[in-house]
Amino acid sequence: MTIRSLLVTGAAGGIGRTLRTSLKGRYPLIRWSDVVAMAPAGPGEECVTADLSDAGAMIDLCAGMDAILHLGGQSTEAAWPVVQAANIQGLINLYEAARLAGTKRVLFASSNHAVGLWRRSNLIDHTAPARPDGRYGLSKAFGEDLSQLYAYKHGIAGFCMRIGSCFEKPANQRMLSTWLSFADFTRLAIVGLEADYTYEIVYGVSRNTRSWWDNANAYRLGYDPQDNAEVFAADVEHIIGAVPMDEDFQGGGFVSPDFTGDPARIPA
Ligand code: NAI
Ligand code: 15L
């Protein structure tokens, strides 16, 4: 798809800030948005401060946008009202605004926490049903379904990236499996922005030797990750969480807080 105008939400966040550099000049207009202040706009850029929970502001924000890369929102576990405002109502506001604007595709930053209660012993792929490990993970599972609704019912192509751990480098043993380098995130986002598809789920993960995710669906669409967390193994292999249960499940430290169930009853 030829993109003349791209909206990126969550522009002031960890991933958004790196994209300001890596996507610079790739599309004629990139509109960067966040609820907090951003670095000033350069050539071919606009910066718009807007809150996802404000439906009217989302309509103004999405106007004229060919494509949206949606990174904004609550990015870790939080109380229900916080998750609901940013990641449930906020997502509804964004997709509805995209529909009104005639936007052709929306890339959604989903998370491994949508499937965090799968065990690490399972190699799962894009067909694995959601198994959220908390309120935040559930909001990402909701986002994947919302994306599917707008893809099939309203013709807005949906690209849901179940991102692992997207940071400068892995911080612990778990991230030797889940790490996504910023450079590989850019590669994956460009596939999502430019490939031909209607609705896809992919994993946002580098080419890690220890990955728990079969990312054949992303490779099929053209994703070719260049980084592998294994080069950091000597530095972080010994860093393991204090709660044994967290080390059994893919969601890691998101699993045990608030947990009152019976791990043995979670299917293999
Ligand atoms: P981040 O927390 O650094 O950035 C999120 C941005 O969203 C922040 O700048 C924040 O101000 C903005 N935001 C929060 N509430 C908002 C609202 N109501 N209206 C408008 N903007 C709002 O997160 P990061 O690491 O950059 O992640 C980006 C996206 O990717 C998030 O959606 C996150 O859930 C998802 N993700 C990130 C992973 C990672 O390892 N970095 C892993 C899995 C998913
Ligand atoms: C996420 O979904 C979070 O946004 C990020 O901050 C990390 O906690 C990541 O998952 C992870 O699982 O490492």
CATH number of the domain within which 126 lies: 3.40.50.720
207, 232 Cβ separation under 8 angstroms:
no
Q: Give the chain's domain count.
A: 1
152 an active-site residue? no
CA of 12 to the centre of ligand 2 (A): 16
* 95 within domain boundaries: yes
* 245 within domain boundaries: yes
* 216 within domain boundaries: yes
* 265 within domain boundaries: no
For tokens 């707008």, name the residue.
150
* 267 within domain boundaries: no
CB neighbour class for 160 (10 Å; exposed up to 12, middle 13-18, buried from 19): buried
Domain of 39 in residue numbering reads as 5-255
**Rounded Cα distance, 69 and 220, in Å:** 21
Average pLDDT value for the chain: 98
Residue-wise pLDDT for 231-248, tens only, equals: 999 999 999 999 999 999
Residue-wise pLDDT for 110-158, tens only, equals: 999 999 999 999 999 999 999 999 999 999 999 999 999 999 999 999 9
CA of 115 to the centre of ligand 1 (A): 18
Contact partners, residue 43, CB within 8 Å, separation at least 6: none
Residue 1 banded pLDDT, cuts 50, 70, 90:
confident
Atom of ligand 2 nearest to the CA of 113: 2
Identify which ligand lies nearest to the alpha carbon of 93: 1
CA of 112 to the centre of ligand 2 (A): 8
Using a 6 Å cutoff on CB, does residue 162 contact ligand 2? no
Using a 6 Å cutoff on CB, does residue 75 contact ligand 2? yes
* 266 within domain boundaries: no
Atom of ligand 1 nearest to the CA of 34: 21
Residue-wise pLDDT for 14-58, tens only, equals: 999 999 999 999 999 999 999 999 999 999 999 999 999 999 999
* 25 within domain boundaries: yes
What are the φ/ψ torsions at residue 193 (nearest 5 degrees)?
A: -80, -30
* 190 within domain boundaries: yes
Torsional sign, CA 49, 68, 225, 207: positive
